[in-house]
Structure 1
């Protein structure tokens, strides 16, 4: 029996399908356990008769999906055999598609990255040619990987812009396909493809292997070229009815009169984002400011990455711009703290590299708007996951869809 059949949630009613569902239950139980289990321990959790558990475990061992892990230490009597999942049979592909970068990772169930590829020359456009480039890059990465396609459960994609994770539709990019882009890519790549917004995927990465592992209620911010938020409430990611929850950058919490790409004015993202940092920097230089970030570059070629790097090198102008932005963000976050009462806020995205220079100014802003008691309850942290968090989170989306994590 192959992996896809075992993990299927088919509604078919037959003895074979019933056994497949029972095997599925055993696999999910072993996957979520942080230690190997004995037959009695498995039987207690899956609520299947002991003889049936023994039979199914032996079949799963034959299928190379489960393995023996030695004997359990006991005070007396016969030591029972321990069983665990053979994680080398469970992989997912994670893809992160941003405006100026595409990343593909092949990740094992234990979050070990087996292969990771990036293309920084990639430019996201709403064209068939760009979509074909995405398909080709994923295929090339899989061709270079030693993992068998039979052991890959699916492909998760974190795509910038508005995405309906339930239907696989993208509303900003690849809108020209007759079918939802998730379905289109499933057919092209011959693997189940799950699509979500890149910020939600980043938040999932924090929940699965980052600093939000133990948090019940948390906010994970994606502060990069744009501004987004993942909301975790009672350990569940809140995506909303169409997957649009967390559009923090389009909340009317700022003072800017600049026209946003959404067509409205006053959006917070026009004051807090990589784009806003670039615009503020250019204005400051035109008004006579000086900065290390220029470094013989034409002003129009300066990117927010350059400004963040210069701030880390001690550049006064860049530090001031960053801290002004952090305070505005903190004041907006204070309102969200009053509304949702989270225990944890994580600053993720490219701005995480600014560390305390950014987070300290955020705290200053939060002090101005948040109520005292909710503010004392919340902890502000900076993400430690780095640039791989998006593609790893996208692979975690596949494992979560199969209820393995």
Structure 2
């Protein structure tokens, strides 16, 4: 083997039956098993992968020699011969995750065991559908990789999460940078020299939330993202649900209201037109224009923009108008969530995004409305919780997804 990059990024040809090809596939399976289950013995690998002891012993030793697997020494047993325990070498392989948000970019590098090695945020970034913005995305990624202390040759993949409709299979964004015939994934691969996965940001965060926050009983989860937009990520039987074209989760564009508000998708009455962060910001400005009192009036009069984070902060400072607008959004989205849990019957609904920071102001009306409009048996089966993850979750999730794709999980 000349390099780890060549080993993992080389396409597998299942039609070949040679010993080297078979051994390569077994090695991938060994790495995938350790990535999911952690440290293990040779006998455990033999049992789980249905491979003979001599073959497993030989291939694990090769992985040790290649610094992918570490021999952790003997493990204590009740009696008899003590077996050696093996685990993945965290420093052997790395993956990069980047989230391209509406008003920031987040970058991080993880190891084989999903530990974050380094991270960075660019709060000055603004996502615009312009060639200059695409150039800045590429430059930002190249700069982050160059400035990190991680050996570039050990970085095997780059995951990029973006807002809007994204198809991971075609590698295209269908909301931003759509004028080029070349998929965005291919352009990023050319610029970085890395294998790239382009993924929807909500789906990436959903995977991070599911991976790090789930209990052993959770296999069907809905992640509700309430930021400046509204979307969901869906986990069915422990796997992300994509739909036919990779667009599953466009929850915010359900025609839920009989209003004349034009949504960003071009249609009227979408859920997002009433309950998104942008919708709440617009309502706040209209109410101030009508003379309704709020502690945000001074900011508005100084012609400063009012962000959903400002409204949440005002609510926590007992601003009645801010509390009312957030609670109204919670009640409306709760009715829509009732439709979701009646359809999917998940174990858990996780609420994340900017509005999750509102805590009980959003969760109490959301759960009350969901209870009111859903089937009682289904509602009782469903747990609700706020996101436990930080702002880097989108980048973390997409780093895990490119890792999984490369090592064969």
- With the shorter chain as reference, the TM-score category is over 0.9
Q: 2:306 aligns with which of 302, 305, 312?
A: 302
Q: 1:196 to 1:113 in 2, by over 3 A?
A: same
Q: CA deviation at 1:185?
A: 0.9
The alignment partner of 1:301 has SS state of: coil
2:188 maps to what in 1? Answer: 185
Q: CA deviation at 1:295?
A: 4.8
2:230 maps to what in 1? Answer: 227
The alignment partner of 1:395 has SS state of: helix
1:394 maps to what in 2? Answer: 398
Q: CA deviation at 1:333?
A: 0.9
**Structural RMSD (CA):** 1.7
CA contact (8 A) 2:157 2:406 kept: no
The alignment partner of 2:260 has SS state of: coil
Q: 1:140 aligns with which of 138, 143, 166?
A: 143
Q: 1:295 to 1:286 in 2, by over 3 A?
A: closer
Matched, 1:11 2:13: yes
CA contact (8 A) 1:341 1:378 kept: yes
Matched, 1:313 2:314: no
CA contact (8 A) 2:288 2:297 kept: no
CA contact (8 A) 1:206 1:213 kept: no
Higher mean alpha-carbon deviation, 313-322 vs 208-217, is at 208-217
Q: 1:94 aligns with which of 79, 84, 97?
A: 97
Alignment partners' CA distance in 2, 1:197 and 1:161:
7
Q: CA deviation at 1:76?
A: 2.3
Report matched runs for 1:186-225 at 5 Å.
186-211=189-214, 214-225=217-228
Alignment partners' CA distance in 2, 1:296 and 1:280:
15
Report matched runs for 1:63-74 at 5 Å.
63-74=66-77
1:377 maps to what in 2? Answer: 381
Alignment partners' CA distance in 2, 1:364 and 1:43:
51
CA contact (8 A) 1:212 1:218 kept: no
Alignment partners' CA distance in 2, 1:359 and 1:221:
12
Q: 2:156 aligns with which of 153, 157, 162?
A: 153
Alignment partners' CA distance in 2, 1:213 and 1:137:
38
CA contact (8 A) 1:92 1:154 kept: yes
Q: 1:213 to 1:296 in 2, by over 3 A?
A: farther
Higher mean alpha-carbon deviation, 225-234 vs 143-152, is at 143-152
Give per-residue Cα distances to partners, 1:315-372, cap 9 Å, x unaligned: 1110111001100000111112212211211111111111111000101211231111
Q: 1:303 to 1:87 in 2, by over 3 A?
A: same
Higher mean alpha-carbon deviation, 203-212 vs 64-73, is at 203-212
**Number of positions where the alignment pairs a residue of Structure 1 with one of Structure 2:** 404
1:348 maps to what in 2? Answer: 352
Matched, 1:28 2:46: no
Q: CA deviation at 1:11?
A: 0.2
The alignment partner of 1:88 has SS state of: coil
CA contact (8 A) 1:230 1:237 kept: yes
TM-score normalised to structure 2 length:
0.94
Give per-residue Cα distances to partners, 1:213-268, cap 9 Å, x unaligned: 75211110111110000111121211111111111110012243201121211100
Matched, 1:253 2:256: yes
2:40 maps to what in 1? Answer: 37
Report matched runs for 1:54-69 at 5 Å.
54-69=57-72
Alignment partners' CA distance in 1, 2:354 and 2:95:
25
The alignment partner of 2:349 has SS state of: strand
Q: 1:104 aligns with which of 102, 107, 118?
A: 107
Alignment partners' CA distance in 1, 2:84 and 2:313:
54
Alignment partners' CA distance in 2, 1:376 and 1:77:
50
Gaps of 5+ in 1: none
2:282 maps to what in 1? Answer: 279
TM-score normalised to structure 1 length:
0.95
Alignment partners' CA distance in 1, 2:241 and 2:218:
14
